[in-house]
Structure 1
Amino acid sequence: MNKNAKIYVAGHRGMVGSALMRLLKMQGYDNLITRTSVELDLRDQAQVEDFFKETQPEYVFMAAAKVGGIEANNTYRADFLYDNLQLQNNVIHQSYKQGVKKLLFLASSCIYPKLAPQPIKEEYLLTGPLEPTNEPYAIAKIAGVKLCENYNRQYGCNFISVMPTNLYGPNDNYDLQTAHVLPALLRKFHEAKINKQDTVEVWGTGTPKREFLHVDDLATACMHLMNTYQGNVSVNIGTGADLTIKELANTIKEIVGYKGDIRWNTNKPDGTPRKLLDVSLIHSLGWRHSIALEEGIQSVYKDKF
């Protein structure tokens, strides 16, 4: 992408979109197109068509999505499926119709089978049942990956997709009803410290293992792939290392400076037992993460709290 290219970042105020915006501006891209959800409802086909005809973007980062943690995914199942299908279908289709040079679609590692062999290779997609609690969201994201692949096959488009691991960083969601595990734990431990609580409740057994990537690292990976990669394989983006939720909780407890105890609520779901991505493909394409987990959490905690 040249510095004057017209670049549309869908979802520019979300965690991923805002990280992309920071990086694009830092690298000297200044012809950026954005719209808030109030200005443009990506679920509305006519609005999206008019927007693409008017703005004629050359490149698109599709970072807009309805997202949430286990409880949100399991509670608002129809909304997660319908909204994500609508908004991604509209953006991908209009990118084809209006001749966008290249599109990058943000999928998610939750689209892999619940019991996929570890670490998870890109080719494991659609080889087994999904995790039930987030199946609707996963199905929507799988549809987006396949939509990109098949617009490439049928129409010769240059649409790529990526599958990030669990993300954290600036502009994360800290609402305990909808947040993912890392920001939720940061808020819980911080509030427990401030309120001098004796215990903090954490869902599940603490045994599932998760991989975490700072969103600024994801942004550099997306830029790298936008400038260098073309293909129908949806590329994993992660660190290649994971830890148990119990280890994560203890790390956050130490960073926050909370002195009480952790109480594990084993009546709550654990989710997928393990979800570690095989990142050998993106390593072979010339990208590696640079922000260590403890360093990243310390930075986020300092900035947010």
Structure 2
Amino acid sequence: MLPFGVGVALLMGLWIARRALAAVDMIITEVREITDGRSLHRRLAEPMEKDEIGRLIETLNQMMTRLERSFAALRRFTADASHELKTPLTVLRAGVERAITTPNLPQDTLATLEETLQVIQRMTELVDALLTLARADEGIAPLHREPVDLREIVEELRETGELLAEESGIRMEVATAPEPMVVSVDATRIRQLILNLLTNAVKYTPTGGMVRMQLGAANGRITLSVADTGIGIAPGDLPHIFDRFWRADSARTRTGERPGAGLGLAICKWIAEAHGGHIDVVSRPGRGTTFTVSIPRDAASADS
């Protein structure tokens, strides 16, 4: 009887252990889904039993509540601070621009004022980016959609891209499909997305390289790609490329280039997803990088 009893006890122990481990595995899966999707408003379903698993779930829910409140407070601070900074920056810019027009300024004074104006411009762009992302987080950054032929936007930005490329000694190519590509989008945001990608491509491509922008359609979606023959992105950096304030090694930029604030690609990601699409990146160190944006061609399939 003893061996039989030991066997039964062993089986019961295994069953209990598997049940407990299955519950823990389920908790891990759900927590990952919540954190990966930044859905901190979600909570784990609490079981009726107040055993160890139940107390663990209760503790995790309490922790996520505190995290949600902390992130909400941080978003409010970012939005408020960005908003409050816009007015003094505007006033400061106007004052410097007026001072620059003063007749007979000494050359060193003029150079200082021009450099100050550039700093103000960079600060203004940073504040605008922070405010955009803060509003997006709060769901108060609506898209102003209208039917637009994306070929027209690409052609509008061709000249800008060619100027950027020419200044850096880089060749620029643009290819678009012959048929119209009309889709309901926020044209201003799409321009911002494309310009961010073009600016990045030029910044990280050495003199003599090439940047290629291509617009096409397939399987009910419109795709825009911006590819460069730059120095590429290290595999370890790729998972973070769309994170806010994240920047790869500054050595990636061309000599003399000032690294950005690390918000441009985060904004690109938001714009793509706000149109019901997504943005992907493929890169090979030493060979170049390609960013591809894909959005639904049918406006009804995109979340407005």
TM-score range, shorter chain: under 0.3
TM-score, structure 1 length as denominator?
Answer: 0.24
Structure with more contact order per residue of length (Cα contacts < 8 Å, sep ≥ 6): 1
The alignment's TM-score, normalised by the length of structure 2, stands at 0.24
Of the two, which has the highest radius of gyration? 2
Name the structure with the higher helix share: 2
